[in-house]
Amino acid sequence: MVLHEFLESDYQGFATLIKEWPGNLYNNPVIVHAVLDHLKKDPQNRTLLKTLAELYTYDQRYRKALEIYLTLRHKDVFQLIHKHNLFSSIRDKIVLLMEFDSEKAVDMFLDNEDKISIDKVVEELKDRPELQHVYLHKLFKRDHHKGQKYHEKQISLYAEYDRPNLLPFLKNSTHCPLEMALEICQQRLFVEETVYLLSRMGNSRSALKMIMEDLNDVDKAIEFAKEQDDAELWEDLILYSIDKPPFITGLLNNIGTHVDPILLIHRIKESMKIPNLRDSLVKILQDYNLQILLREGCKKILVADTLSLLKKMHRTQMRGVLVDEENICEICLSPILPTDASKSYNVIVFHCRHMFHKECFPEPNTESSLHFCNICSAKHRGPGSAILEMKK
C-alpha cells in the first residue's frame, strides 16, 4: 500500500523506497505492472524508467533492465553487462554502447574478445567509421598484429579522423600496404608521412627533396641525412643548399661530424653573405678538434689493450706443457713417449696441446720452414698454433 501511494504522488520517493527496501518485502510483478501503467502516461519519465530497470534487476530479468539502461544511457550499464554476463544480449547494441561511452565500450569489447569477436565489432560499426577508428586504434595500441587484416582500412581512418597518430601507425605496422598509404598521404598533402613512406620504400632522395622543398626545414633535412647515412644524400643536400644562405648556416653547424666540411666550403660563392658564418666556422674547428681528441683517445686505449693482450699471450706461450705416457701422437696414435725411458725421443708439441712424433710429422711446405699444427690448420683453414719442440 505504501509503495502504491508513493507511486501515485511522489515518483522520487517511490524510487528511493525501491532502492532501500529488500525485494522480498513487496510483490515485484505487481509493482512492475503498476510502474508500466504510469509509464503509459509519461513514457519519458527517467525516474520511473530507472526504477523499472532496478525492479527488473531484482527479478533477474537482466535483459529488460539492460534495454532500459541503454535507453537512459545510464552509467551502470557496463557494470550490469559484466556482472550478469549479458554479452550475448549486446551483439546488436554495439553502436549504442559506443555512442554512450566509447572508451568504456572499447575496453569491454577488447577484454572479452572470446564473447564479442573483433570481426563482429568492426562489422557492426561499418556505418560509423569514426567509432570504428576508435575501436581499431585501441586494438592496435594493445597488439600491433591482432587486427592486421584491418590495417589497410585503418590508413584511411587515421587520415580522416586522427592524423597525429597516422605516422606512429605507419612506423609500427608491418601489415599495411605501403603503396596505398603513399597514395593517400600524397593526395592529402601529408608531407611528413609521405617522407617517411618514401624513405621506407627505398626512395630516400625523393624523401629528402620533399623535406627541402615542401617543408623548407634544413634541420629536418640534416637529421634525415644523418639517419640514412648515405653519401649521395649529403651531396644532394649540399647542392640544394649552396644558393640558400640559411641552409648553408645549418649545414656548417651540423655537417662536421658526418661529411668533410671542405666539400661545402669550397662551393660557397665568394660574394655570398652567410649569417653567423664566423660562429659556424668556429664550431667546425671545435668539432674537428673534438674528433682528433676522440681518435687519439681511442688509439691510446687500443694500443694499451694490444700490449696487454700481447703480454698475456707471451706469458701463456712461455708456460710448459705436461707430457706423460697417456699422451699419443696425433698421426700414428702411438704413445708420445717411449715405454723405455732410456731411449731417445724427439717430440713436437703445439700450444694447442696436440702432439706429434718428429718423424711422423710432415716437413713444412712453406719457405719459412715453420711448423703448424695440422689438426688446427684443417679446422681453421689457416696456420695452427705455435710450436714447442722437446728432445731427449
Q: What is the pLDDT of residues 364-383, one digit of tens each?
A: 765 555 677 878 876 655 44
CA distances from 138 to 147, 163, 169, 306 (A): 10, 15, 12, 55
235 or 59, higher pLDDT:
235
Q: What is the pLDDT of residue 163?
A: 95
Q: What is the pLDDT of residue 173?
A: 93
DSSP 8-state assignment for residue 388 = E
Q: What is the pLDDT of residues 4-25, one digit of tens each?
A: 666 666 667 767 766 766 766 6
Take residue 186 and report the three cell numbers written for it. Answer: 600524397
d(CA 39, CA 49): 8
Q: What is the pLDDT of residue 392?
A: 58
Mean pLDDT of 131-136: 96
Q: What is the pLDDT of residue 370?
A: 64
Q: What is the pLDDT of residues 138-191, one digit of tens each?
A: 999 999 999 999 999 999 999 999 999 999 999 999 999 999 999 999 999 999
d(CA 66, CA 63): 5
Q: What is the pLDDT of residue 383?
A: 47
d(CA 351, CA 126): 75
How far is residue 245 CA from its own chain's centroid?
38
Q: What is the pLDDT of residue 288?
A: 82
Q: What is the pLDDT of residues 20-74, one digit of tens each?
A: 667 666 666 777 777 677 667 777 777 777 877 887 878 778 888 888 888 888 8
Indicate the average pLDDT of the chain: 84
Stated pTM of the model: 0.66
The residues spanned by each domain of the chain are: 322-360
d(CA 327, CA 283): 67
